[in-house]
A and B are shown apart, each in its own frame.
Chain A
Amino acid sequence: MHALANPTRFLRFARPATMWLLLIGFALTGVGLAAGLTLTPPDYLQGETVRILYIHVPAAWLGMAGWAGIAAASVSQLVWRHPLAAVAGRATAPAGATFAAICLITGSIWGRPTWGTWWEWDGRLTSMLILFFLYLGYIALASAERERGGDGRMAAIYGLVGAINLPIIHYSVLWWRTLHQGQSISVTGGSTIDKSILWPLPLTVIGFTCLFGAAVLMRIRAELAETKVEMRQRRMAA
């Protein structure tokens, strides 16, 4: 992390990384979604709607991972004063908010034929909606702080406090057993979903994660370039 503290060194890494993440992301997401739509069998209970799994699960993972990234950037900024930490936090928020929104919308669409309702004030759904609003608050606070020339400390503290919501989202299906199903996929094994349905999921999870990473890198590059322009204009005006 500290090796990338220098913006020039960071850009040397970010330029090829953006292209590779986009290429791998598009390829894996395309193959995963096509396989999920055409090659996997319908579920014996849910039927064809189970195919929403291949977009809903990556979106949920990235909505939460995005905030975990903001929290890590906040620690890096507050403790080590990493010069790119505030930029990384601001760049991650719009991508995280987009995937939290995709998770909420696709979950609602999945809920209508499965549960018979578009929305329910269930623990998982409500805590995910709170995460989406936290993202909007972070974007507004970080942008306002940047416009006023602040160092981003307020946004960093907000990013850390908001991380309290992550374990709440994760354990919500255990603490409040209402409508959303419990954990059915485990990285360490013991998934309750049949392998014939599950196999395209890692492709879409890795694919969407690469696209998320590419979006974050492009936003960091944009902000670094804007800062460069602002500094040079200030120097020319002086």
Chain B
Amino acid sequence: MNAWPFVIAAYSVAILLTAALLLWSYLSMRRAEAAADDLTRK
């Protein structure tokens, strides 16, 4: 059995889910901190 498709699938899942977590956390932080800064300026 060729093992490489399994290795590539496992790496893809790990990289995609980690990237999604980091992007989601970063965008939430940027949005919330921008809203807080806007309110402070007002």
Contacts and interface: CB of A to CB of B under 8 A. Distances in A.
Contacts of B11: 33, 37, 51-52, 55
B3 A106 contact: no
Interface string B1-19: 1011011011101110110
Contact of A109 (B6, B18, B22): B6
Interface residues of A, number: 37
Q: How large is the interface on B (under 10, 10 to 19, 20 to 34, 35 or more residues)?
A: 20 to 34
Interface in A1-59: 22, 33, 37, 47-49, 51-52, 55-56, 59
Contacts of A228: 36, 39
Contacts of A177: none
Contacts, number: 94
B17 A225 contact: no
22 contacts: A37-B7, A49-B7, A55-B11, A94-B24, A95-B25, A98-B17, A98-B21, A102-B14, A102-B18, A105-B10, A106-B13, A110-B6, A112-B6, A219-B25, A221-B33, A222-B31, A225-B36, A226-B32, A226-B35, A226-B36, A228-B36, A228-B39
Nearest to A33: B11
Contact of A222 (B13, B20, B29): B29
A91 to B, nearest CB: 8
Given A49-B3, A98-B21, A211-B22, A56 B10 contact: yes
Interface string A192-219: 0000000000000000100100110011
The 4 closest A-B pairs by CB, nearest first: A225-B32, A218-B25, A48-B3, A225-B36
**Chain A interface SS verdict (over half):** helix
Interface of A: 22, 33, 37, 47-49, 51-52, 55-56, 59, 94-95, 98, 101-102, 105-106, 109-110, 112-113, 208, 211, 214-215, 218-219, 221-223, 225-226, 228-229, 232-233
